Structure 1
Amino acid sequence: MSHSQRSDIFLLDADRTTWHDETLWFVRQKRDKAVYALPEFQDLRELASQIKNHTLSKLDFYLAQFEEAAKRNGVQVHWAADAAEHNSIVLGLIKKHGATRVVKSKSMLTEECHLNPHLIKNGIEVIDTDLGERIIQMREEAPSHVVLPAIHLKKEDVGDTFHIHLGTAKGNNDPQQLTEAARQHLREKFLAGEVAISGVNFAIAETGSVVVCTNEGNADLGVNLAKVHIACMGMEKLIPRLSDLSVFTRVLTRSATGQPVTTYTSHFTKPAPGKEMHIVIVDNGRTKQLGRPDFRASLKCIRCGACMNTCPVYRRSGGHSYDFTIPGPIGAILSPNIDMRKHASLPFASTLCGSCTDVCPVKIDIHTQLYKWRQVLAAEGEIPASKKWSMRLLSSVLSRPGMYGLGGKVARQGLRFLPHGLTHAKGYNPWAIARELPEPPKQSFREWYAQQQKNS
């Protein structure tokens, strides 16, 4: 299904859609308050953007530097060209240690690679320890947001899920009690975990360290209790120096949740005595995107989710309507790079209002890239025939002032005299399902302007 078809399903529940919209806008407002309280925020954005630009321009150098530093620290580094190789490496490491129980903190890369299903199919128990991720794992759903994976669910949904899977009282929707039930459930899993898998927010080339940012401390607990730590990272997560990190920690959480900093910002540099640490560096289309000049900047993304919180389309259509690991505006740029045909509708799921670009903490030109993807998709023939021919017709009209003026005159008269049931018919004018058309003006702007010129 296309994005619009999947969003139609989400829109069937009008109350949930409105609640989703308002909740994400509340997060956007928290972001604004946190940003306005920091006079130098725009300077930090520019600095973060330039650091990322520099890193991507010398990515081969910094990857080699990172690997060398990590190996000096006693860390084993693995390289994966795609999702299949990543999953194979991780499974191989788990089996090498004879482990069957894995605890995993939040990682969008492992979601991208569909690691969980692969491990479960091979007899490995995988427990997501981030609360939102654990909720959707129980429900067998994909995350709908990069920072707030269960934002599409209400507390009643969580209560029902915990009643089924954790045995909480039916109808218990109290957030504090549900969180405590999850804490007790996950504590057992932490203690039993043999291997801990984490994502990577930032990888520091200078030190060979990986940095993981969480608000729940679940990554720290999992890694420190398990004998083996596997950190999975996309190659774009690199920054050159430890001194660069403070720039990103100051913009990341302010942009994501309106906090000054994450509750836990943990550095993992070397394995503890008697333990192992592995880092799996993954390409999976990133070098391809790096080779596209128009879309290279999308690799600067630090997964804050700010573009989703502000996007009017995402807020009203839900994350699952994108059918991609990273939803929202940034996901609509990344997804065609992975599968152009499957995700051809996503760059069109935008008003191109530019709000996503305005809030991006690393200054990715998101709306410009969405517009450029539309051009690429059209040139590749990856848009529906109806859209292709309607755009050609519209182009023909807009390039002929006389035809455009005549069309406007006919439309104004039609709206004035045609019955409401016809002008607002669902099959003919879906735009008007939830909106009232404005009263048609008596004359066009061109006609008014010509009259003013004549009178003067």
Structure 2
Amino acid sequence: MSNKHPQNAKEFVANDERMHWHDQALWFVREKRDTSTKTIPEWEQLREHANSIKTHTMANLDKYLLEFEKNATAKGITIHWAKDAKEHNEIVEKILNQNSVKKVVKSKSMLTEECHLNPYLESKGFEVVDTDLGERIVQLRNEPPSHIVLPAIHLKKQDVSDTFHEKMGTQKGNYDPTYLTRAARADLRQKFLDADAGITGVNFAIANTGAIVVCTNEGNADMGANLPKLHIASMGIEKVIPRLEDLGVFTRLLARSATGQAITSYTSHFAGAVEGGQMHIIIVDNKRTPFLQSQKYQKALNCIRCGACMNTCPIYRRSGGHSYEYVIPGPIGSTLATFRDPKKHKTLSFACTLCGSCSHVCPVKIDLDSQLYNHRQDLTAQNIIDPKKKFAMKATSWLMSHPTLFDIAGKVARKVVPILPKSFIYNKANVWGKQRDLPQMPKNSFKELYKKGLEDDK
């Protein structure tokens, strides 16, 4: 239950050293993004154009999905439609069984994470190996990814070394990143050679060509899609774009927003099966269509999964991805999760300072801070939020709407708080007090200082 976010975040920040390096590591990525975008004079125009393409596509989604299906089918690709995660997983299982598959290699796909495909296939007797290095690390640790681009960002090299020693027999205590990477590469290469099928995600599905595009930095999607004779690609309905000409807009935005690179190391187009093989694409809804009917939240479907909003978010950087307990953490995950199940994810829209940094860096201009603010209003109207929070906010609102009483309360606080014993101030009810000291009370309020300033000017 992601209603545990406040408690999970509290546990994360309790380890001050971990919180600090996690925060700094992600801010380093954010700074790389800033440096990279400054090399593109037309950056804001690109963002605006991407937003326009996505908005147009969502308004005509049925048309472009059917066009994509027609053109992909003409290339010999088999198209499947899945209404939800259960149907998606059953389709994958059926295809694998029809081809007598036992061993599967899989590249990064947040949709398959969303559908919990790995545990489903493993329960049916299939061996499933994640081949993205970060995904492989967390798979060996039996953990979900904590970031959509940097799945193991919450781990140090010492953690990875210990995991590899336990699971792969590497040298104990060898924390050298080059050694660990080479060990993973050797292990994964054999997995690729032994695989009967490869499963990939889809970054973009091009309607007018029927091809899909997969972006990686490790080439693992290419290996998984080309070495076995069977390639299965899973995509959400929102991944389609109208034309091949539109692709360049998004590839210029994606890598720069994600890691500061000009482009991912591999931007691979798949337009049919390998010789003598099969290619299947599963187009999945899984509660996406309701977004199309919502004026306030429809733009959340524009997301291209770059992770920029996570890299800049002060809450995510200081509380970690696992604290959200949703497949996609951070600002975009908070709005997606809350829209899908407001009761289950009622705390996530409050895991936000409303600073607007996420909206500022989003390459497709999703109004993330506005959406999270709107979720708060909706939760309050539906009487879903914590009663204590609702009472506190109503009481604060009432007090601030009565200036005379607000002034009196301020004067009393400025005189009384300095003489109160610390045990009274820093009690169990004062959650903030466990991490922060109360600021020193000023002698005068801003209102009093302002009035005095006006009088001095006379």
Q: 1:12 aligns with which of 14, 28, 44?
A: 14
Partner of 2:217: 215
Distance in 1 (alpha carbons) for counterparts of 2:240 and 2:212: 9
Distance in 2 (alpha carbons) for counterparts of 1:366 and 1:226: 40
Q: Residues 85-104 of structure 1, C-alpha deviation per residue, up to 9 Å, x if partnerless?
A: 11111111111111111000
* CA drift at 1:302: 0.4
Instruction: Write out aligned runs for 1:12-31 (5 A).
Output: 12-31=14-33
Partner of 2:432: 431
Partner of 2:267: 265
Q: Residues 264-312 of structure 1, C-alpha deviation per residue, up to 9 Å, x if partnerless?
A: 0000011122111111001111101121110000111000000000000
Distance in 2 (alpha carbons) for counterparts of 1:274 and 1:226: 10
Structure 1 residue identity aligned to 2:97: K
Q: 2:110 aligns with which of 83, 108, 111?
A: 108
Say which SS state the counterpart of residue 396 (structure 2) adopts: helix
CA RMSD of aligned residues (A): 1.2
Structure 1 residue identity aligned to 2:304: I
Instruction: Write out aligned runs for 1:7-156 (5 A).
Output: 7-156=9-158
Q: 1:248 aligns with which of 237, 247, 250?
A: 250
Q: 1:280 aligns with which of 270, 282, 303?
A: 282
* CA drift at 1:379: 1.4
Q: Residues 294-345 of structure 1, C-alpha deviation per residue, up to 9 Å, x if partnerless?
A: 0000111000000000000000000000000000011000001222211110
Residues 285 and 337 in structure 1, CA contact (< 8 A), matched pair in contact too = no
Distance in 2 (alpha carbons) for counterparts of 1:380 and 1:211: 41
Distance in 1 (alpha carbons) for counterparts of 2:158 and 2:347: 32
* CA drift at 1:453: 4.3
Distance in 1 (alpha carbons) for counterparts of 2:450 and 2:341: 48
Residues 288 and 337 in structure 1, CA contact (< 8 A), matched pair in contact too = no
Say which SS state the counterpart of residue 135 (structure 1) adopts: helix
Partner of 1:441: 442
Say which SS state the counterpart of residue 98 (structure 1) adopts: coil
Deviates more, 1:95-104 or 1:332-341: 332-341
* CA drift at 1:426: 4.7
Partner of 2:184: 182
Say which SS state the counterpart of residue 187 (structure 2) adopts: helix
Verify: 1:225 aligned to 2:227, yes or no. Answer: yes
Distance in 2 (alpha carbons) for counterparts of 1:452 and 1:149: 54
Q: 2:374 aligns with which of 354, 372, 387?
A: 372
Q: Residues 124-154 of structure 1, C-alpha deviation per residue, up to 9 Å, x if partnerless?
A: 1100000000000000000000000000000
Distance in 2 (alpha carbons) for counterparts of 1:193 and 1:88: 20
Identity %: 56
TM-score of the superposed pair, with normalisation by structure 2: 0.97
Q: Residues 344-402 of structure 1, C-alpha deviation per residue, up to 9 Å, x if partnerless?
A: 10000000000001100111110000000011111122111111111111121122112
Q: Residues 138-178 of structure 1, C-alpha deviation per residue, up to 9 Å, x if partnerless?
A: 00000000000000000000000000110001111111011
Distance in 1 (alpha carbons) for counterparts of 2:265 and 2:234: 21
Verify: 1:300 aligned to 2:302, yes or no. Answer: yes
* CA drift at 1:451: 3.6
Equivalences, count: 455
Structure 1 residue identity aligned to 2:357: S
Say which SS state the counterpart of residue 103 (structure 1) adopts: strand
Structure 2 residue identity aligned to 1:90: V
Distance in 2 (alpha carbons) for counterparts of 1:13 and 1:451: 45
Residues 80 and 282 in structure 1, CA contact (< 8 A), matched pair in contact too = yes
Structure 2 residue identity aligned to 1:395: S
Distance in 1 (alpha carbons) for counterparts of 2:292 and 2:323: 26
Structure 2 residue identity aligned to 1:133: E
Q: Which runs of 5+ in 2 are unaligned?
A: none
